[in-house]
A and B are shown apart, each in its own frame.
Chain A
């Protein structure tokens, strides 16, 4: 554990507890969390400890205990032991030497991530779409094929991306006899931009060991046959990293700098939304993006969303603006979230999958 060398000026100062800059407490209504953005994890803490870390930051333990009238001396000792155990911080006589992280979020790309939906009826010109996404600076693409896919179809999409500047492609494809683990491994080797392949509607669930390059291939029995399957809010989808945490301060963690092309070619913020900014066959992605309202949802952040603003997960939870509790209120909580930050309970509990229809089972 690091302890700073006390400087001459601070030699006589009592050390105070200092959080590492990447360990940031977030207060919720019933409990708080400390997000460790470097280790990409979080721990729950009582709101009392949040109060100590925020309102009483920079005070010595003796001062803190005195503030609480020595009523909680034991708990306060327990709190600091916990923080040290999880390596969230250290004792320092010079806390000013450790400034907070700058959470300003900026990116040079006009679009950072995109979704391309495909079904049997799609007539996409993959080359044209991928070239335009390249021009916009897009780094990550998610291709969601809702139908039973052939390898030839997947290759056609991936070939269009071969010489572009995408850094990652996530592929979701409907199970077909050609999509064997060997064939998909071959595909991932041919196209190193692939970061993940998920085959839905598979007869059985299977998780292949990650390839040497880190690519994961997974077979799932869930039927993902339309964009309606999206928008799940669950701890499994939380993203605890600096990028998301910083972006989430002022921007929407799903829609910011996102562009989607739905299965019919309609250019949208999200394929689940009804508003189209034109069809990609007639309107360029650039001109869709230039329309006045395209970026309107990008800045809806969790601090503005009802209920979410009181949730300790608000900067690690990827939002959904397509499925809302109150469809008429753009600032209402995602309808697929079952978490209640006022009781700190998931309904049903987080380990019981809710409302997912698996192959062969009624919806």
Chain B
């Protein structure tokens, strides 16, 4: 059966607000990749000129 095409304006499809995404306790989610990994790869101050092999 084909679905009814609802309008995106319906309140059902509004993005969650910042308040709705606030953590409600200080609990943690399991982290397997960390901010540190990201920083290593995407660090703003990354030195792309030196490449280790050809210092």
Contacts of A43 in B (CB 8 A): 13, 15
Contact (Cβ within 8 A) B24 A356: yes
Contact (Cβ within 8 A) B32 A193: no
Is the C-beta of B41 less than 8 angstroms from some C-beta in chain A? no
Contact (Cβ within 8 A) B31 A200: no
Query: A31-B13, A140-B31 are known contacts. Are A172 and B7 too (CB-CB below 8 A)?
Result: no
Contact (Cβ within 8 A) A46 B20: no
A-B interface pairs (CB < 8 A), number = 138
Q: Which of A78, A193, A318 contacts B30 (CB 8 A)?
A: A318
Category for how many chain B residues contact A: 20 to 34
Contact (Cβ within 8 A) A113 B16: no
- How far is A72 from B10 in the complex, measured between Cα atoms in Å? 16
Contact (Cβ within 8 A) B25 A195: no
Category for how many chain A residues contact B: 35 or more
Nearest CB of chain B from residue A57's CB, rounded to whole Å? 15
Is the C-beta of B49 less than 8 angstroms from some C-beta in chain A? no
Is the C-beta of A351 less than 8 angstroms from some C-beta in chain B? yes
Within 8 A of B (CB), among A98-128: 107, 112-113
Contact (Cβ within 8 A) A195 B34: yes
Chain A interface residues toward B at CB < 8 A: 30-31, 43-51, 67-68, 71-72, 75-76, 78-79, 82, 107, 112-113, 139-140, 142, 167-168, 170, 172, 192-193, 195-196, 198, 200, 213-214, 218, 220, 222, 224, 229-232, 234-239, 241, 243, 247, 253-254, 257-258, 318, 344, 349-351, 353-354, 356
Chain B interface residues toward A at CB < 8 A: 2-8, 10, 12-17, 19-37, 39
